[in-house]
Amino acid sequence: MTEVEQKQQRTFRKFTYRGVDLDQLLDTSHEELRQLHSARQRRRLNLGLRRKRHSLLKRLRKAEKEAPPMERPEVIKPEMIGHYLGKFSITYKPVKHGRPGIRATYSSSFLPVK
């Protein structure tokens, strides 16, 4: 019976960010954590928070506390860290370079349309 119980136990995936364990990530300083990020993210962290952004974050935190339980935003999961959210919801249609359509160029206007 013990073998069956051992098979039923779920093993949870251990979270790592760029090869660093979660426990070590929590203990690292901001400077060491910056070195794990890409250049664009490091530059953004080095620029710091301006007054407008700081006040916006303050208002957002206050609004989140006052919101009813089912109206709060989704909890940030470990898989979401290190990604820009715009990557997942593209607001533009990517350009696909294919063959031109009918009368797309000046010379194709003289071709007979079948």
112 found inside a domain: no
103 found inside a domain: no
Residues 93 and 108: their CA atoms lie apart, in Å, by: 26
Is there a contact between 103 and 111 (Cβ–Cβ < 8 Å)? no
Residues 88 and 21: their CA atoms lie apart, in Å, by: 26
Q: Domain residues for 32?
A: 16-81
At 92-106, the pLDDT tens digits run 888 888 777 776 777
88 found inside a domain: no
CATH number of the domain where residue 29 is located: 3.30.860.10
**What's the pTM?**
0.41
- Looking at this protein, which amino acid is placed at residue 34? R
Residue 76 has pLDDT above 80, yes or no: no
At 3-49, the pLDDT tens digits run 666 667 777 778 888 888 888 888 888 888 888 888 988 888 888 77
48 found inside a domain: yes
What total number of domains does the chain contain?
A: 1
The tokens of 66 are what?
A: 């006052």
49 found inside a domain: yes
30 found inside a domain: yes
76 found inside a domain: yes
Rg from Cα positions in the chain: 26
